[in-house]
Structure formats: C-alpha cells, structure tokens
Structure 1
Amino acid sequence: MDEAEQEVENQHLLPPLEALKKASKNLQSNPISIIYNNYDISTAIEALLELGTKADPVISIDPSLFKLNQLLSNLKTLFEKLEKLQGYGLRSLLHRQITNYKISQIGYAMEAEIQAYVDQKNVQSFVKTMEESVEDDKKVKALMGLENRLGQGFDKQYQQLILRAKVFSFLEFMVCDSKFSNWVRDQAALAVLGLVKFNKDVFVGLVLMGPIVRALIQMGSSCSIQVLTGLVKIIRTPLVDDINGEIPRIISLLGSEDLSTKAAAMNCLLEIAILGREEVIGLMLEEDLIKKLMGVQRLEVGLQSNEDENGSVCAEEREPKMEESVEKFPFSRCVASFAVQVEVGEGLEQGEKRAFKLEILKRVREASVSDAEAATVVAEVLDYVSVVDRCTC
C-alpha cells in the first residue's frame, strides 16, 4: 500500500474510532455516583451503541479490532440487562450497581483498545512517512503528531510501539543530517524533547550516548537551542558536563542577528549557569560572556528608550508588568540574572560563588562604556544577589 492509499485508509478508519473513544469516556462513571446523582447512563450507552453500529462496516473488516467488536456486543447485553432492572428494592439497586460497574469497566477497556489501535496505525504511518515521503510538510505533520501524542503522558504500550519501530533512530538521523531542511530538523528536535519528557529513564541515555546534543548546538537555531535548554533542565549536571567544550559555540549565538536565537542562547546559558561546576562557570567568563551580555543589555536599553520616545505614555507614568517586560525585552538586566544563577548554582561551593561574584563585578567594570553604566549594572548585580542571599538565609 503506497503513502496516498495509507492516508485515505486512515481518514476513513480513524474518525469513527475517535468518536467511539470519546463516547466511551461517558461510561466511565462511578456506579455509586450514577445512582445518587441520577446520571442517565442509558443515554450515554445508546449514543455509543449507535456510533458502534455506524462504525461496524469499518470495525468488522479488521481482525485486530475483534476485541473492540466483542466489547460492543458485551455492552449491548449489559444494557439490555440494565433496562430490566427498574425496581427500587434493595436487590434491584444492588444488581444495577454491579451492572453499572461492569459497564464503566467496558468504557475503560474500549478507550484503551481504541487508543492502542490508533497508536499502532499512527506509528506505522509515521515510519512510512519518514522512509518514503520527500515532502517537508508531510514529515513535519507526522513529527507534530508524534510530539502531541507523547505530550499526553506515559503509556507503556505506546512506548513499546515506538521502541519496536525505532522512532528514536529516525529522529536522531533527521536532527543530525544537514540534508534535511531546518524546518524538519527543528520539528524532529522537538519530538526528541517530547520523548525525553515521555520517559527520561529510557531516552536520556540514548540522548547522551548519541550525537543529538552536539547537532542541536551546531544547528544554532532558536528552536534547537530551546530544545537544548529543555534537555538541560531535565538531564541537568550530566548534560552540562557533557557539553562543556561546546559552551563557546552557544555563547557565540549571542551575536546572532536573529533576536529569538539570541534570546534562546541567553536562556540556555542561564540554565547552564545554575548547574555548572567551577570549570564551566570559569570557561563562560573566559569566553567574555559578561562583555557579550553587556552588549545585548545595552541594545535592550536602546530599544526600550526608543519605545518610550515613540509611545504615547512615558516610562515614568506606566510601569510595565514583569511578564510583559520579559517578553518584550528579554535581555533586561541579563548580567544580574546571570550573577543570580551563579549565586544559587548547584555545582559551586560558597567560596567559589563569592570569588565568581567578584570576578563578574570586575568584568562588568571592564566591559562598560562609561562609569555611569558600570555603576548601574554593578548596583543591579548587587541588589539581585543580596535579595537571593536574604531569601536563602
């Protein structure tokens, strides 16, 4: 079956199954709450059975949906039994509760059965698209579908599917091969992050042992560096130690003409600063990080000044909210932010933190274009760090 035929089949098959899955959730109610809240489960059952009848031509031709067909048949039998239990005696109430419980279990079983079937079809379709399609939009659509499914949370059966299909290998190949477009590589990188979030116990090792992390840094796009930052947050010190030699490349991205790439690089460096050991922080300072942060912060001040001049409300009259300020001016007080990350860093001793604070202040003075700028930034650093000191006492 070629790619076009596969897509047509999925369009024909998956919608009725998704409708059945959604309807099955309405059966998953506590039997006691059904009785005391007068929840009309009969309406939910009738709606689901009606959907089952419409989907029967699709379900009956696929042997792998035999169990789902059987569950629908069992549901119909239980529904008929429920309709006969209309009395209000203790015996009828007890039998109704037991029947309602069995119906709710069928609801859970149907949802799991449909999800497993849909997952299998989607993984097969994903592999086929990665192997045969030459169109970027189809690859990206498949990658986004994978990322969305991973975002629904851990599922042991789904994990087995993606491991058997060697999904990680496809993603690693696309991230690392420059023949693919940046669009495809960025989306593949996001799917890798999705896998690590899905089950870090399984996929962190694959990330650390493979070439993905260095490929992300070499790509140097806003998206790839955001993915790297996400990986640093999850894997923490082992990843920071692993990319020690690549930190100069990340710092160089602060000179990018693309604002989003510049911001992504800064956020990544701040995340590294909170986890880095003495040699990592020392390397960052030796690469003139403070001078470069001063440069982007100086650019930010110019942007803010221009907005104040062009805007209808001056800065004194309108203090922006913190979230708004960070979103519009991501480099505001970035030197102080870096100093704070070092101060609360997990990889440094107290003596090392004090030494680095003095070194940061020294480099601020050296990188400043005027005494006024130096005084302003030094005051920001000292204020931010002192607040951290008071909070940690």
Structure 2
Amino acid sequence: MDDLPTPKHRLLTLLNSLKEASKVLHTTTNPFSFHSRTDSRAAIDTLLDLEAKAHATLSSVDPTLRNLSRMLSSLRTLIDKLHKHHGYSPRSLLHRYVTAYKISHLARAVESQIQSYIDRLNIRDLVDTLQDQQQQQQQQVKVLVEFRQRLSQGFDLEFQDLVLRAKVFTLLECMLFENSSSERVKEEAAMTIAALVKFNKNVFVGLVLMGPTIKALIAMASGCSVRVLSSLIRFIRSPLVDEILCSGEIPKIVGFLRSRDLGLRVAALDCVLELGYIGRREVVEAMLKIGLVEILMDLQREEGCCESDCDFAFECCVSRFAIQVEVGEGLSGEEKREVKSEILRIVKEASKSEAEFATVSAEILWGSSP
C-alpha cells in the first residue's frame, strides 16, 4: 500500500526536484559569478529539463501552481536571454550581470514558493492523519517524523503561521491523552512538542506552561517522555521548574527512580539532575524531603545489573546531584552551603557503614575518583 496517493506523490516528487534545482541555481548564478557560465550550467540544464516536464502538471486549476508555472516560464526566458550575451564588451558584461542577478532572485522566489506549497500540503496531511483514529500507527509516526525534520530546518514565520492556524500544538497535546493512540505515537508527539518549543521559544513555551503537556509527559511514565521533559526543562528553565513544583509533580519524578524499567530510571536521574541545577531552594528541598538522597544511595549500591545494561549510569549519583546543586543557578551561595550540609547529614544517616559514608562524603566534598 502506497503511503501517498499516486498523483500527489508524483506532484511532491516533482516539486521537491524543482525546489532543489532552484536552490542550486540561486546559489551558483549570482552577480559576482556571471562571467563563469560553467558554475551554473548544470543547475540551468537541470531546471530547464524539469520545467519542461512540469508544464502540464503545473498548468492546473490551483492558482499557486499556475503562478509557479508562470515563474518557471519567466526563468526560462531569462536563462535564454543570458545565453545570448557571449561577449566581453562592457555592454555584454552589464547585460549578463543584470540578467544573472534577475535569475538568482527569481530562482530564490521559485524555491520559496514551492516550499510554501509543500508546507501547506504537509500540514494538511499531518492534521488529517493525526485526527483519523483509524489511521495506522506507522503512518502517524511517519508524518510526525517528517514534521520534526521540517522544524529542524530553522525558524520560518510563514511556516509558523501555518502551524498556528492548523492548531497543530493543540492536536499534539490531545495525542498525549488519546486512549486510542499507541505509546509509540504518544512518544513521537511528545518529541514533536519539544521540537516546536525549540523552533520558536517565544510562541510555544507559553503553550507548554499553560497546557497539560507536562502532566501528560509525567503520566506517560516512559523513558522517552521523561527525556522529553528533561529537554523542556533545559530549554524553558526556571518557569517550567517552578510549574512542576507548584503542580505537585516532584514526587512522581523522584518516584521514577524506583521503577523496574532501567530506561525510565536513567531518564529520571537526568531529570532530577536538571531540577537540581536549575531549581530554586524550594525545589531542591522538596526532593530531599521525599527521600531523594536515600534513593540515590540505594541506586549506587545496586550490583545486580551487568555493565552493558547499566553502563555505570548511577555511579556516584549522590555526588553528581550535590555538584549539580552547587554549580547550579537556582540557589544563592549561602543556600548552596546549607543544602550541601543537609545532603551530607542525610548521607551519614543512610550509609550502611563508616566506609560508605567516608567514600560518598569525600565524593561530595572533593569529587569522585577518575
């Protein structure tokens, strides 16, 4: 079964080829390299060949495609005009300079027009696929991965407007709670939310803080969802950490350290370290009060897993947490000293021997051995 209807698939293939050819032409044909026609010869030949093939396809009822067809025709005319000026007289050089500039400018416009059209198609496809509860998991994952790839290309105001008008963020949040969605689809949706925040912090951070995303990530209780939470904490920082504290989610995060799922425990440790680095004193104290240090002490003692599975994930985790707090940005110097003393006190009470206390306290005070 094809992922896309055949006509649509052919159109997208053609448009992507035209976009790539236009991009190459834009970067190789410019006012400062007009004297070297070989620089852009391959790009010109490729684009002309594609323009001939695209004429019938783009001459449709769609106004965007009709406009694109006209732009390609104009580009062909300019390229033909460029080839007529072979000499090196001042007049020929001037004509070639001006024409090459127009070609470069129009090629860039063609590339932008195609990208906008593809974006509209893909956003529509994304929304339709995610809203269709009968859609197969593989197809939903596919559109989410492709959407993240588009976001990774960098900020684009026109693309952001498409995303906001289509209410993609709200749809992704709904996917996190949708009972019919598989765990894989929910994790892909979670990673896509993080990608949107990275795409434009100014717009999407507010949506994360005001919406149910954080509660949903914690409720999912998977290694992936907690890793996404950690990435959001690193990116949004104090506002998100304060929200996690106020919503009473700290105990759940710390509780993940006792999970039987190794991947979840490892992800939870990373999240706790982020909270210790960024959080205010109230956040750190909240974790200490519910037994974080004791749990970390237990994790350090575990010897039941092989190195290939554990990969020393919990080695020196007590001192790693203490160091994160000490070098972090949430506490004042005096608060850091007080918290460090409190951690040492808890370590002494939780240690099973004087030797263990001496080892862990030394790691906290002086750092672990290489």
Class of the TM-score when normalised by the shorter of the 2 chains = over 0.9
Shift of residue 180 of structure 1? 2.0
How many Å separate the matches in 2 of 1:90 and 1:82?
Answer: 15
* Residue aligning to 2:264: 261
| Residue 131, structure 1, aligned to residue 131, structure 2 | yes
* Residue aligning to 1:391: none
Deviating more after overlay: 80-89 vs 361-370: 361-370
Deviating more after overlay: 366-375 vs 190-199: 366-375
With over 3 angstroms needed to count, the CA separation of the structure-2 counterparts of 1:171 and 1:271, relative to structure 1, is same
* Residue aligning to 1:312: none
| Residue 58, structure 1, aligned to residue 57, structure 2 | yes
- Which stretches in structure 2 are left out of the alignment for 5+ residues? none
Deviating more after overlay: 64-73 vs 215-224: 64-73
Two-structure CA RMSD over aligned residues (Å): 2.2
With over 3 angstroms needed to count, the CA separation of the structure-2 counterparts of 1:338 and 1:21, relative to structure 1, is same
Deviations 1:317-370 (A, max 9, x none): xxxxxxxx9993222221111111111222211111001111111112222222
Of residues 272, 277, 288, the one that matches 1:274 is 277
Deviations 1:188-207 (A, max 9, x none): 11111111111111111111
With over 3 angstroms needed to count, the CA separation of the structure-2 counterparts of 1:133 and 1:218, relative to structure 1, is closer
Shift of residue 272 of structure 1? 0.9
Shift of residue 76 of structure 1? 0.8
Deviating more after overlay: 259-268 vs 176-185: 176-185
SS of the residue 2:314 aligns to: coil
How many Å separate the matches in 1 of 2:282 and 2:46?
Answer: 65
With over 3 angstroms needed to count, the CA separation of the structure-2 counterparts of 1:197 and 1:45, relative to structure 1, is same
Of residues 286, 311, 323, the one that matches 1:340 is 323
Shift of residue 128 of structure 1? 1.1
* Residue aligning to 2:153: 152
Deviations 1:226-278 (A, max 9, x none): 11111111111111111111011000101112211111111111111111111
Contact 1:6 1:125 in 2 (8 A): no
Deviations 1:141-169 (A, max 9, x none): 11112111111111111111111111111
* Residue aligning to 1:321: none
TM-score normalised by structure 2 residue count? 0.92
* Residue aligning to 1:198: 199
Shift of residue 8 of structure 1? 3.1
Q: How does 1:88-99 map to 2 (within 5 A)?
A: 88-99=88-99
**Aligned AA (2:85):** L
How many Å separate the matches in 1 of 2:145 and 2:123?
Answer: 12
Shift of residue 292 of structure 1? 0.9
Q: How does 1:1-393 map to 2 (within 5 A)?
A: 7-29=5-27, 31-35=30-34, 39-61=38-60, 62-134=62-134, 135-244=136-245, 245-299=248-302, 303=305, 307=307, 328-384=311-367
With over 3 angstroms needed to count, the CA separation of the structure-2 counterparts of 1:336 and 1:172, relative to structure 1, is same
SS of the residue 2:153 aligns to: coil
* Residue aligning to 1:315: none
Shift of residue 179 of structure 1? 3.8
TM-score normalised by structure 1 residue count? 0.87
Contact 2:31 2:98 in 1 (8 A): no
Deviations 1:171-197 (A, max 9, x none): 011112344221111111111111111
Contact 1:175 1:185 in 2 (8 A): yes
The number of residues matched between the two structures is 363
Shift of residue 380 of structure 1? 1.2
